[in-house]
Amino acid sequence: MARVKSGFRKRFNIRYWRWQATHATIGKIGVLRRRFSFYPRAVHPTRVATRVLEDRSFDLPTLFTPEETAFVRDKCWPYDTLAGDWAGEPSAKARQIAVTIRDAEMLGHVGLIMAPQHQAVVMSQEGTANWNFAKAKTLRQDLPVAGRCHFLARTDNYYHALFHDLVPLVDYLERLHPRGMPLTLVCTPARLAILRQACALLEKAYPGLRTIELAEDAKVPVGEALWLSFEAGNAEWNFADAAPVHRLAEIFREHYGVPRGGSRRLFFSRGGSKIRRLLNEDALFEIAKAHGFERFEARADNQAEQVRSFSEADIVIGVHGAGLGNLAFCRPGTKMLEIFPENFTKSTYLWVSRHIGLDYHWIVGGRGDYDQAFSLDETAFRQKLEALLRQELT
């Protein structure tokens, strides 16, 4: 698979051995663990919960057609993150958790909650935390924050910010949070404009919310940490209900004054992105342009136009990537044509589309290189596009 390191490369590099040495020394001595905020052990949130607000297990329909089921099982499963034992059944085993943990600490350098009484970080996967979530660093301690606090994860990925951070938060605020009860959102310095913007908008929409920033070289004790998680046996399948997605989209549309409706056709470009570059994008766009498509590229400084463009779109064409998280702003019924390299097919946006009412389609190109750069056959693209447009007319 493109851009995945072999076991040899994972183990024979300086970073791996530095982590092993840290784990063997600092990780074994309690006073050093606390001094360097290094917690290589992970504990499940339900084991350290003070209060369980929700812990429900249920069968969640995938909503896939037979053709989509075969595509996910045979083509996407090898590339989907943390894909489990699902073998094409019409539903997945899901679990949704909301708990609070008293007297916790939030660690800025790894973006995790630490349970002091267990000397462990809180994670869905118990056991040994890997080097992304167990790092030795001297952290200054900020003043304690009283009351309930929620840590927005450290991410520079647009899709994860929307669907892993914001959608679960809105779901909690709509269903479980007492109206007007104070809630502090704790964020590390946001590398994504959407996180800063969303926090400001949520403060307006939900009285009692406020946002504070936690630097990456700091930690903060909190009176009560809120943990939210959703699992369905595949990390690409990360929500069960369309309602919080539509609510979040409504909050953004209201802020930017974007009406629901329109008939735009978007050819969503990855621009100068190094990863998953469509080598013959210009030729493919010329085919789409003849059918009324406009090329659109998401940037850090055009969030309003991203919301507007996807809200007004009838059809979206795009290569798999984080920017397609903007599908959250699409109206039910919008057609989506996702383009993949042969060796990187994922079910992320099929799941999103099926669960918020979009009409999803896909097409697979040639094999990607190490950076997943690839080409798509122009005749196959033309035929697929014209077939979708004929469906629109019937």
Q: ∠ CA 96-97-101 to the nearest 5 degrees?
A: 170
Residue ranges of the chain whose pLDDT lies below 50: 1
Token pair for 382: 């033309």
- Residue 23 bridge partners (DSSP): none
pLDDT, residue 112, reads 94
- Residue 56 bridge partners (DSSP): 96
Measured CA to CA, the distance from residue 124 to residue 44 in angstroms comes to 5
Measured CA to CA, the distance from residue 198 to residue 195 in angstroms comes to 5
Measured CA to CA, the distance from residue 323 to residue 94 in angstroms comes to 26
- Whether the Cβ atoms of residue 153 and residue 198 lie closer than 8 Å to each other: no
Give the number of other Cβ atoms within 10 Å of residue 83's Cβ.
19
User: CA of 119: how far to CAs of 34, 190, 217, in Å?
Assistant: 8, 27, 19
Helix (H) and strand (E) counts for the chain? 13, 16
Residue 25, CA atoms < 13 Å, CB-side half-sphere? 10
**Tokens 């042969």 -> residue:** 342
Measured CA to CA, the distance from residue 297 to residue 190 in angstroms comes to 21
Element containing residue 121 per DSSP (H, E)? strand 120-122
pLDDT, residue 29, reads 82
Token pair for 53: 């607000």
User: Under DSSP, is residue 105 helix (H, G, I), strand (E, B) or coil?
Assistant: strand
DSSP assignment of 261-302, as one string? ---EEEEEE-TT-STT-BTTHHHHHHHHHTTT-EEEE--TT-
Find all residues with CB under 8 Å of 329, minimum gap 6, and list them.
Answer: 249, 252, 253, 306, 307, 310, 311
Measured CA to CA, the distance from residue 55 to residue 205 in angstroms comes to 26
pLDDT, residue 11, reads 59
pLDDT, residue 393, reads 61
pLDDT, residue 18, reads 77
Residue 352, CA atoms < 13 Å, CB-side half-sphere? 29
pLDDT, residue 24, reads 78
User: Under DSSP, is residue 104 helix (H, G, I), strand (E, B) or coil?
Assistant: strand
- Whether the Cβ atoms of residue 239 and residue 231 lie closer than 8 Å to each other: no
Token pair for 168: 């679960």
Which has the closest alpha carbon to 239: 141, 364, 96, 99?
Answer: 96
- Whether the Cβ atoms of residue 310 and residue 147 lie closer than 8 Å to each other: no
Query: Taking the mean position of all CA atoms in its chain, how far away is CA 376?
Result: 26
- Whether the Cβ atoms of residue 2 and residue 343 lie closer than 8 Å to each other: yes
Strand 145-152 with 359-364, pairing: unpaired
Measured CA to CA, the distance from residue 337 to residue 56 in angstroms comes to 34
pLDDT, residue 8, reads 55
User: CA of 331: how far to CAs of 52, 308, 326, 339, 392, in Å?
Assistant: 34, 11, 11, 20, 15
Measured CA to CA, the distance from residue 55 to residue 99 in angstroms comes to 8
pLDDT, residue 1, reads 46
